[in-house]
Structure 1
Amino acid sequence: MTNTVFLQRIADLYDEFKQHDARQSDRLRRYRNIEAESAKLLAMLVRTQQSKRILEIGTSTGYSTLWLAEAAKTVQGRVLTLEINAFRSAQAKKYAEDFELEGFIDFWVGDAADYLKQAMEPFDLILLDAERGSYVSYWEDLKRLLQSSGSTLIIDNVISHPAEVKPMLELIKQDEHYMSSILPVGAGLCMVVVK
């Protein structure tokens, strides 16, 4: 069960991140973390699916990483999180240490496309929350990593940025091996599962 101390600390951290973003006029300087309700849903999915191998594409400062790791801890799972910005990844690692969750997270710094091209072992749950213009180029590699029945891909920002994710959602719809549904949670999540 998610403990009260974690919930209070993560709520405070979320507020801190939101305040930071509100002060930034440049989009790229914002942390752009996932919405609180979306992060909570992801943690619930990890628990209900007993997701042992979790991949996060786009760490930012690690807000969603903390939720995923806290849930992974309860199911003896692990999170691998990919981030192109070394400074952001280091920030996320520090928060993981502060929350005593670093033992459940592997941090990988670099272009997600490079990691995805060489990755072979499937994941139980993948969160895609990075630069949306790259999503289409990830699809073939993501399919290889979603081989297991019950493997789930979650794509964030599908309601808040529909035009930017439309090409990816169209690709998924055209693939007979996958089912998808839009969940009106946070900025909008698309849940994709292997049929």
Structure 2
Amino acid sequence: MDESLQALLAELEQFGQENDAAITDRPRRMLNITRDTGEFLAVLIQATNAQRVLEIGTSNGYSTLWLAQAAQKVGGHVTTIEQSEFKLELAAKNFERSGLSDAITQLRGEAGGLLDSMLDANADLIFLDSKRSEYERWWPTIKRVLKKGGLLVVDNATSHADEMVPFMALVSGDAHVSACTVPVGNGQFLATLWG
């Protein structure tokens, strides 16, 4: 990773921490992933040669930059979904500064509706870091959009375990899925479709 991107990521980490410490209004908080989660995602993308990456929950683009720099190395692209206009604008500026804009497509809107419009088997890797109360409802569509052998990674598996348990049980109970939880960052729930 080049020095300018390293510096931008460090700046965004500090901004996210300071912003979230000062602001209690959830829509204005960044709620970024941890650095080790970013590193983990980057390794997963490169190890699986995930060229079509879908992120649900852009925020200010911190996680997207981790995904995009890894996807770019394997000739891939990231599509990221965000509903908040405020966060979309912050992310767009960060993408421009990063030099990774060509590797990122931003979609604005409600994730469930946007997922419904996507083609079958259209993503190699999906990173889910959004409104946890919607995950169970989105699961059939996520399963349709994710290619066989593709990987779903969901943040906050341990930090918000009470909210995540129903979704994790639903996915783990699917006969065509192998799943596990990895203690990286706030906990990552991983699931792959094999059947």
What's the TM-score, normalizing by structure 1?
Answer: 0.95
8 Å CA contact 2:77–2:103 kept in 1: the answer is yes
Structure 1 residue ranges without an equivalent (≥5)? none
Separation in 2 of the partners of 1:3 and 1:113? Answer: 35
Separation in 1 of the partners of 2:77 and 2:2? Answer: 19
- TM-aligned CA deviation for residue 5 of structure 1: 3.3
Instruction: Identify the residue that residue 7 of structure 2 maps to in structure 1.
Output: 8
Instruction: Identify the residue that residue 19 of structure 1 maps to in structure 2.
Output: 18
- Is 1:123 matched with 2:138? no
- TM-aligned CA deviation for residue 120 of structure 1: 1.1
- Is 1:147 matched with 2:147? yes
8 Å CA contact 2:4–2:98 kept in 1: the answer is no
8 Å CA contact 2:127–2:154 kept in 1: the answer is yes
Instruction: Identify the residue that residue 75 of structure 2 maps to in structure 1.
Output: 76
3-state SS, counterpart of residue 186 of structure 2: coil
* 1:91 partner letter: L
3-state SS, counterpart of residue 123 of structure 2: coil
- TM-aligned CA deviation for residue 119 of structure 1: 0.9
Separation in 1 of the partners of 2:123 and 2:42? Answer: 15
What's the TM-score, normalizing by structure 2?
Answer: 0.95
3-state SS, counterpart of residue 157 of structure 2: coil
Question: Where has structure 1 moved over 3 Å in runs of 4 or more?
Answer: none
- TM-aligned CA deviation for residue 40 of structure 1: 1.1
Provide Cα deviations, 1:8-59, integer angstroms capped at 9, x if missing partner: 3212221111111111122332111111111111011111111100000000
Describe how 1:92-171 pairs up with structure 2 within 5 A: 92-121=91-120, 122-149=122-149, 151-171=150-170
3-state SS, counterpart of residue 24 of structure 2: coil
Separation in 1 of the partners of 2:103 and 2:78? Answer: 6
Structure 2 residue ranges without an equivalent (≥5)? none
Separation in 2 of the partners of 1:148 and 1:194? Answer: 5
- TM-aligned CA deviation for residue 7 of structure 1: 2.0
